[in-house]
Amino acid sequence: MTHPLRRAISTVVLCLVVAVVAVIAAPFIGPTPLSFGAVFSTRLPFADNTDAQIFFLARLPRALAAALVGGTLATAGVVFQALLRNPLATPYTLGISAGASFGAMVAITFGFVLPFGLPMGGVAGASLAGAGLAVIVVYALASARHSGLSTTVLLLAGVTMNSFFSALILFVQYLSDFTETFRALRWLMGDLDVAGYEPILAGLPIIAIALLGFGWLARPLNLLTLGADAAATRGVDVVRAQRVAFFTGSLATGAAVSIGGPIGFIGIIVPHLVRLVVGADHRLVLPASFGFGAAFLVGCDVLARTVLSPMELPVGIITALIGGPFFLYMLITRTRNTA
């Protein structure tokens, strides 16, 4: 009997390779055709090499941002689905993206910049702060009457925070003028139109910490899907695992949203497709979801840039157009299975 891990490890490697290939290939697609030889030419100095400039300064940051955000949202989705023991959970279920959106709206509307020297733009910093606010409120609610985290209260608190922040967003929008409203709306659609590498570098440390946490969580999350009691009697420190899952998942989501806005459905489509291929073990699902999520969002962003070229669509529209029907399909097939 071979170890179940061994059978799917090649799929995981394949997902990661596809992600790398996607990041390198995506910048070659666009209104100005680039030649592979010219981009990586060592004979021309960079200042005179327009192909290389378009590749490295305009398009590669965007592909990298897509890969980082896609991989992060997909793995965060995996973590929240395991934490909540609910296959329909997403990184946004607990209100983190709504908090982040509220922060971004405030920054866009009131031009308000965070006082402390966050190495990111005012909007990104404010969205991260908004996400933090949502995380603290939801955690305080869910741990108020329990020694651990009650998943039921987590879900209810998250749903409540989502609608509460949505109301606040509408209120802020009501106060804003036409151009601010337009910018805000564009942000809410989820857009990877990053200018340069700064947003990526600003989000990267947070995401790296979160991914380390995910690595530690992989096995405890497997056991948590049996239920808290069953996990505890097998030696899992349930309260600690739930806390780590909640905070690292939230950190990752907040950082990803601060880079690309609340891009929807990545966190639910990708984990499900990945599970169909590699099974349910989180030691496989997490890395495979990172690779596949990265490649998937890079691909969606290429679509967004090219489908109505020269107009660029926000990538969130593409993921929503794919994700909405997919989500419904899953809802229907799953209910049929369990009925």
Partner 1 sequence: MLAATDLSFAFGDQRVLWDVSLNVQAGGMVGVLGPNGCGKTTLLRLLAGALKPARGSILMDGRPIGQLDRRTLARRIAVVPQHTQLAFDYSVLEVALMGRYPHLGAFEVEGPADLAAAMNALGSTGTAHLAERAFTTLSGGEQQRVAIASALAQLDVRTSTRRTEPRFLLLDEPTASLDLRYQVEIAALVARLHDEGQAADSPLSILTSTHDLRFAATVCTTLILLAEGRVVAMGPPSQVLTADTLSSVYGLTRDMASSLLPTGIPRGVWR
Dihedral, CA atoms, 263, 19, 86, 95, nearest 10 degrees? -30
Torsion sign over Cα 157, 163, 164, 166: positive
Helix-, strand-, coil-residue percentages of the chain, each rounded to 5: 75, 0, 25
Smallest gap from Cβ 322 to partner 1, in A, equals 23
CA 312/CA 303 separation, integer angstroms = 9
> In this complex, which beta carbon is closest to partner 1, that of residue 59 or of residue 283?
283
CB 315, CB 190: distance < 8 Å: yes
Of 1-9, 50-58, 61-69, 326-334, the window that binds partner 1 (rule: CB under 8 A) is: 1-9
Given 219, 243, 277, 320, the residue binding partner 1 (CB under 8 A): 219
> In this complex, which beta carbon is closest to partner 1, that of residue 284 or of residue 302?
284
Smallest gap from Cβ 240 to partner 1, in A, equals 10
Of 31-39, 218-226, 241-249, 253-261, the window that binds partner 1 (rule: CB under 8 A) is: 218-226
CB 131, CB 96: distance < 8 Å: yes
243 contacts partner 1 (rule: CB under 8 A): no
**83 membership: H or E segment, kind and range:** helix 60-83
Which residues inside 277-306 make contact with partner 1, applying CB under 8 A?
279-281, 283
152 contacts partner 1 (rule: CB under 8 A): no
Tokens of 220: 């405890």
Cβ-based neighbour number of residue 166 at 10 Å: 14
144 contacts partner 1 (rule: CB under 8 A): no
Given 168, 209, 215, 321, the residue binding partner 1 (CB under 8 A): 215
Of 124-132, 194-202, 222-230, 251-259, the window that binds partner 1 (rule: CB under 8 A) is: 222-230
230 contacts partner 1 (rule: CB under 8 A): yes
CA 269/CA 267 separation, integer angstroms = 6
CA 106/CA 84 separation, integer angstroms = 30
> In this complex, which beta carbon is closest to partner 1, that of residue 157 or of residue 217?
217
CA 116/CA 127 separation, integer angstroms = 14
Residue type, 208: A
Given 167, 208, 212, 234, the residue binding partner 1 (CB under 8 A): 234
- Binding residue count for partner 1, defined by CB under 8 A: 30
Which residues inside 68-97 make contact with partner 1, applying CB under 8 A?
81-82, 85-87
270 contacts partner 1 (rule: CB under 8 A): no
324 contacts partner 1 (rule: CB under 8 A): no
Q: Which residues contact 59 (CB under 8 A, 6 or more apart)?
A: 26, 27, 30
Smallest gap from Cβ 292 to partner 1, in A, equals 17
What are the angstrom distances between the C-alpha of 85 and each of 158, 226, 228, 261? 15, 9, 10, 26
Give the footprint of partner 1 on this chain (CB under 8 A): 1, 3-5, 81-82, 85-87, 215-216, 219, 222-223, 225-227, 229-230, 232-237, 275, 279-281, 283
